[in-house]
Chain A
Amino acid sequence: MKSARLPGLRSLRLALGAVRERTGATGAELYVKVGNTRRIEIDPWMATVTADPDDLQTQVSVLDERGWALRAGGASRALFLADSGPLPEPNGWRRLNRHSLRPGILRLPAARSGTAQSPAADTGEHSPDEEEAAGLAFLHDLLRRLGERMPEARLVRGRLDSGASAAVLASTTGVTARSGRRLATVELDFAASRDGRHGHCRLYRAASTLHLLSADTIAREIAERLTLATAPAPPFLPAGEVAVSPALGCNLLALLAPLLRGRDGWRRLRKLGAGHPLGPRQLQIVDDGGLDAGWMSAAFDDEGVPTRAVALVRDGEPGEPLLSWEDDGWSGFSAAGCRRRSGWRALPELCHSHLYIAGAPEPAESIRSGIVHGCYLLDRAHDGRCHATFEPSTNGGAGQLEEGRFEVDAIGLVIRRGTVLGEAPRVRLTGSLRQLLQGIRAIGDDLRFLPAPGAVGAPTLLLTGLQVEAVG
């Protein structure tokens, strides 16, 4: 079956005209998305790996997705309507009428120069049988390599998704945009038992194409994590320096995300510094919707607003806030395309696309080997805590994030002068968000992105001033 094709802009404009005519809406926007996904799930209760990839017990799903969303209305009445299948013909909007709009508000971005020059989307399905065979070979290779490294590792859940999607957007304000994206994700849960100690490990990795995912690297990461998770607890944990891997750094940055978007986030971020720098001069935190080679990279966001790199923290100081077009010009800052839809059923929402701590020139290896007496934390613990807590407000509510604290359960190693003294199957890293940023002492050169949702990236970080304690 050929993949569904996107309608042309002319079809969208005709549909918009029909919607306006029938509903009396002053403005309207249509968003159409098509996609295809090939999903391979491994049966955990049967996964005995043989030499032949065809012996792998898997469930394969080939999914075609197609849907559209309409926003119509004006200053006092509005409607959001989403449906699967192809976009109706201009005479297919008969069910809509003036009563379809209900009290509410619709605001749409105005056209800007450049939106009409959107890049063409790449929607094609590339040799699906080859892609499926490549997916099966990848999973088989991964299980085989992990079996060699750690025979006691046991699959709990394994899923590989690869696919492509394309979208087209048009509104009555003149905004038009097209986008296309390819993505492959692998989600793996493993468990192991050693000497009566049980450990879990969960990995979620993504890349633009399956060929960019390395089975050997992922197998090594799983074996490392399971080894640490099933190790005996150390008798003593040093409380000095803590180096965190890019994987854990991504989790820490994801906790900070509410500080790094919108007007409220900006106010909190400014307050967090309290007149002092937020972090060291080499600290740069960026959100870039158009990042080269990023999974989410697009010239426009899902409302057709151009994306750009926004330096949220520049040289350790608050840079500029991530603002949507509705807040353009607030406090003298410019907006960026940052409103995204999680699918055709969803309305666009302010969110990050590629949020990352930019890498610095210092080699990551020298950060790890330079730990005098501390911990190198590799990843968050499978079923442990990972959240930022909020100060209670006067009325007992959840309160706000500024002045908040965070806690993350992690697995790692105890290190003294570059030598591994022991393993730490679960430690709890806690502190205030201010300490987290101001305590950054070194930033490595090994920037890496993980799916969070969106993409969150971090290099190896050396942190001080945080509390580390053994748990469990």
Chain B
Amino acid sequence: MRSTANRAGPRPLLTSDVAAPADALSRLAAHGDQQFEAFFERLETVELLPQGAPNRLRVRKEQGLGVRKIENGRSRLAAADTISGPAFAACCDRVAGTARSIGTAPPRIRTGSWPALRLAELQRAESRLARAVNRRRVGFPMEITARRHRRQVQVIRSPIAAPPQFEEYFSLQVTTPWGVWGGLLPSLADEDLDPVALCLVDRLRSRGLPLHRRAPGVIVLGPNAAAVLLHEVVAHALEADTLGLSGVPDHVVGLKLGGPELDVVDDPRSAPLACKRSSDDEGTAVISRWLLRRGRVRQPLADLAWAERCPSMIPGAARRASRHRLPGPRTTHLELLPGTIPERDLFAEAVGGLYIGEFDRGNLDPLDGRCVLRAPCGRRIGASGPVDHTGPIEIRSRAVDLLAAVTAVADRPLAGGAGWCAKDGALMPVWARCPSIRLEGLQVAD
């Protein structure tokens, strides 16, 4: 069934001429070392809670702007929770440190209308998910909270205005008697809800099982789990600010982190349909960025500030959680390019090992490179593929050891592993497309 999401997007965030604020920003720079940037943002979250919950329908809207001055590696940000000419002028005054910094008359700034609320798809999510679960011949009580997130962004970096950006995606939280599942989805169509049902049924079948303590020789990670692993040990590890904590970021270029089967790309342009980006949150055009090319570091994730500090770095990966936060280098859409091994063969050489379909938690220590990944359940691999379910599994390892353990990449990539990245407490949606991978020689700790 096709999604009912409106792919056309709403009217542009700013309906007034963007040249006016761009012109005002260009008047702010006292000398060539100063850069000014305006960030306009509009967010909407529509949340539908389970039946019987108080205030079941919750609509949160917000819009605002931030003006940032960058000078000699330092930045100064002023943000307001409204979009208007006077608010823009006031923020300019705050970052410039003078009154009437852009003249006596603030520029005219107008916003477009909010898109329609469209509740039907959220209301149908519960029954669709229940049907997807029932198709697997099981049924259990579920409390479903469905949310639709929309974000419009317009960045003006004097004297250029980047194209306006629009993202729309969904999040689900499913509470069952044995735990809570949460994740991001590009739509609430059947094809996106089906993998959720699979995760829920796996959790049902592994409920009450003890923590898996035996260290298997071989682990096969499904596309969702592989995406979380790569998010932690490739994307986070290759963010310029993370690299900056332990050395000079561009010194890692050329470093061998894994085998030749690892080709990892960050490409916001190929994210799911309604989440594609053509420019980042600093207004820089995004690129298809090779993070790892045949296992070697090619191009870390960088924003403007890091590209200024390290000239070999290419900006275009800046993201900001909101107008109240400064941008930083982050991944948006991670892709592991497929290998040549059919998935069936991946399992055939992993008999006796463990299959992990999803990780529900991951963490990378930026200083010592240790990584912790937690799976709510797993399955033992038999001659016919994944068989018996196991309890939760925790993998603790160094990031380099995890990558070195990847010995095979399957040939069929799937979109999956989308979730909230919470680095430094700033929640951002991240997307991925990965095939299954096989790891050998890892430690599974309690």
A residues 106-164 near B (Cβ < 8 Å) are 106-107, 156-157
Interface flag for A236 (CB, 8 Å): no
Interface flag for A327 (CB, 8 Å): no
B residues 48-103 near A (Cβ < 8 Å) are 51-64, 73-82, 90-91, 93-94
Contact A198–B82 (Cβ < 8 Å): no
State whether A61 and B57 are in contact (beta carbons under 8 Å apart), knowing that A1-B93, A397-B177 are contacts in the complex.
no
Residues of A within 8 A of B63 (CB): 84-85
Residues of A within 8 A of B52 (CB): 105
CA distance A140 to B209 in the complex (A): 52
Residues of A within 8 A of B60 (CB): 81-83, 345
B residues 286-345 near A (Cβ < 8 Å) are 324-326
Interface flag for B256 (CB, 8 Å): no
Residues of A within 8 A of B59 (CB): 79-82
Interface flag for B119 (CB, 8 Å): yes
State whether A82 and B365 are in contact (beta carbons under 8 Å apart), knowing that A62-B78, A395-B178 are contacts in the complex.
no
Residues of B within 8 A of A107 (CB): 54
Contact A84–B207 (Cβ < 8 Å): no
State whether A397 and B81 are in contact (beta carbons under 8 Å apart), knowing that A82-B60, A156-B366 are contacts in the complex.
no
B67 nearest CB across to chain A (Å): 10
Encode A60-98 as 1/0 by CB contact (under 8 A) with B: 111111110001010000111111111000000000000
Contact A398–B179 (Cβ < 8 Å): yes
B residues 175-216 near A (Cβ < 8 Å) are 177-179, 207-209
Residues of A within 8 A of B30 (CB): none
A residues 341-357 near B (Cβ < 8 Å) are 345, 347
Residues of B within 8 A of A63 (CB): 77-79, 324
CA distance A302 to B176 in the complex (A): 31
Contact A44–B245 (Cβ < 8 Å): yes
Contact A395–B177 (Cβ < 8 Å): yes
Contact B57–A83 (Cβ < 8 Å): no
B300 nearest CB across to chain A (Å): 14
CA distance A59 to B95 in the complex (A): 12
Contact A80–B90 (Cβ < 8 Å): no
Contact B54–A396 (Cβ < 8 Å): no
Interface flag for A102 (CB, 8 Å): yes
B residues 79-137 near A (Cβ < 8 Å) are 79-82, 90-91, 93-94, 119
Contact A62–B56 (Cβ < 8 Å): no
Interface flag for B244 (CB, 8 Å): yes
Interface flag for B368 (CB, 8 Å): yes
Contact A198–B79 (Cβ < 8 Å): no
Interface flag for A178 (CB, 8 Å): no
**Can you name the residue of chain B whose Cβ is closest to the Cβ of A79?**
B57
Contact A57–B74 (Cβ < 8 Å): yes
Contact A60–B245 (Cβ < 8 Å): no
DSSP majority for the B interface? mixed
**Can you name the residue of chain A whose Cβ is closest to the Cβ of B210?**
A392
B298 nearest CB across to chain A (Å): 22
**Can you name the residue of chain A whose Cβ is closest to the Cβ of B80?**
A64
Contact A396–B178 (Cβ < 8 Å): yes
Contact B55–A71 (Cβ < 8 Å): yes
Contact B73–A43 (Cβ < 8 Å): yes
Residues of A within 8 A of B177 (CB): 395, 397
Interface flag for A182 (CB, 8 Å): no
B30 nearest CB across to chain A (Å): 17
Contact A60–B61 (Cβ < 8 Å): no
State whether A73 and B244 are in contact (beta carbons under 8 Å apart), knowing that A58-B74, A82-B60 are contacts in the complex.
no
CA distance A81 to B325 in the complex (A): 24
State whether A398 and B178 are in contact (beta carbons under 8 Å apart), knowing that A82-B61, A198-B368, A392-B208 are contacts in the complex.
yes
A residues 181-220 near B (Cβ < 8 Å) are 191, 198, 200
Contact B58–A347 (Cβ < 8 Å): yes
A74 nearest CB across to chain B (Å): 12
B158 nearest CB across to chain A (Å): 20
CA distance A87 to B42 in the complex (A): 17
Interface flag for A103 (CB, 8 Å): yes
Interface flag for B19 (CB, 8 Å): no
State whether A61 and B79 are in contact (beta carbons under 8 Å apart), knowing that A103-B51, A397-B177 are contacts in the complex.
yes
B143 nearest CB across to chain A (Å): 13
A87 nearest CB across to chain B (Å): 12
Contact B367–A46 (Cβ < 8 Å): no
Interface flag for B33 (CB, 8 Å): no
Contact B81–A67 (Cβ < 8 Å): yes
Residues of B within 8 A of A46 (CB): 73
CA distance A81 to B63 in the complex (A): 14
CA distance A15 to B61 in the complex (A): 18
Encode A249-264 as 1/0 by CB contact (under 8 A) with B: 0000000000000000
Residues of B within 8 A of A157 (CB): 424
Give the bracket for the number of chain A residues in contact with chain B. 35 or more
Residues of B within 8 A of A60 (CB): 74-77
Most chain B beta carbons < 10 A, residue from A37, A347, A396: A396
Give the bracket for the number of chain B residues in contact with chain A. 35 or more
B375 nearest CB across to chain A (Å): 16
Interface flag for A221 (CB, 8 Å): no
B69 nearest CB across to chain A (Å): 10
Residues of A within 8 A of B368 (CB): 198
Contact B56–A104 (Cβ < 8 Å): yes
**Can you name the residue of chain A whose Cβ is closest to the Cβ of B324?**
A63
Residues of A within 8 A of B61 (CB): 81-84
CA distance A398 to B56 in the complex (A): 25
Contact A59–B326 (Cβ < 8 Å): yes
Encode B385-405 as 1/0 by CB contact (under 8 A) with A: 000000000000000000000
B443 nearest CB across to chain A (Å): 15
Contact B81–A1 (Cβ < 8 Å): no
A295 nearest CB across to chain B (Å): 19
Most chain A beta carbons < 10 A, residue from B64, B79, B81, B244: B81
CA distance A104 to B177 in the complex (A): 23
CA distance A80 to B178 in the complex (A): 29
Contact A78–B57 (Cβ < 8 Å): yes
State whether A85 and B245 are in contact (beta carbons under 8 Å apart), knowing that A78-B56, A79-B55, A397-B207 are contacts in the complex.
no
Most chain B beta carbons < 10 A, residue from A73, A78, A85: A85
CA distance A201 to B400 in the complex (A): 24
Contact B73–A345 (Cβ < 8 Å): no
State whether A345 and B62 are in contact (beta carbons under 8 Å apart), knowing that A58-B74, A103-B56 are contacts in the complex.
yes
Which of A103, A156, A395 interacts with B367 by CB under 8 Å? A156
B residues 362-416 near A (Cβ < 8 Å) are 365-368
Which of B77, B82, B424 interacts with A86 by CB under 8 Å? B82
Encode A377-401 as 1/0 by CB contact (under 8 A) with B: 0000001000000001001111000
Contact A73–B82 (Cβ < 8 Å): no
Residues of A within 8 A of B62 (CB): 67, 82-85, 345
Contact A65–B81 (Cβ < 8 Å): yes
**Can you name the residue of chain B whose Cβ is closest to the Cβ of A105?**
B54
Residues of A within 8 A of B325 (CB): 61
B272 nearest CB across to chain A (Å): 26
Which of A44, A106, A395 interacts with B55 by CB under 8 Å? A106
CA distance A168 to B339 in the complex (A): 59
B147 nearest CB across to chain A (Å): 13
Other than the known A82-B62, A84-B63, what 12 A-B pairs have Cβ atoms closer than 8 Å?
Answer: A44-B245, A64-B79, A64-B80, A66-B82, A80-B58, A82-B61, A84-B61, A102-B57, A104-B53, A395-B177, A397-B208, A398-B179
24 contacts between A and B (CB under 8 A): A1-B80, A44-B245, A45-B241, A57-B73, A59-B74, A59-B326, A62-B76, A62-B79, A62-B94, A64-B78, A64-B79, A78-B54, A79-B55, A81-B60, A81-B61, A85-B82, A102-B56, A106-B54, A106-B55, A107-B54, A191-B367, A200-B367, A347-B58, A396-B209
| B contact set with A: CB distance below 8 Å | 51-64, 73-82, 90-91, 93-94, 119, 177-179, 207-209, 241, 244-245, 324-326, 365-368, 424
The 7 A-B residue pairs with the shortest CB-CB distance in the complex, in nearest-first order:
A396-B208, A396-B207, A104-B56, A1-B90, A84-B62, A45-B244, A84-B81
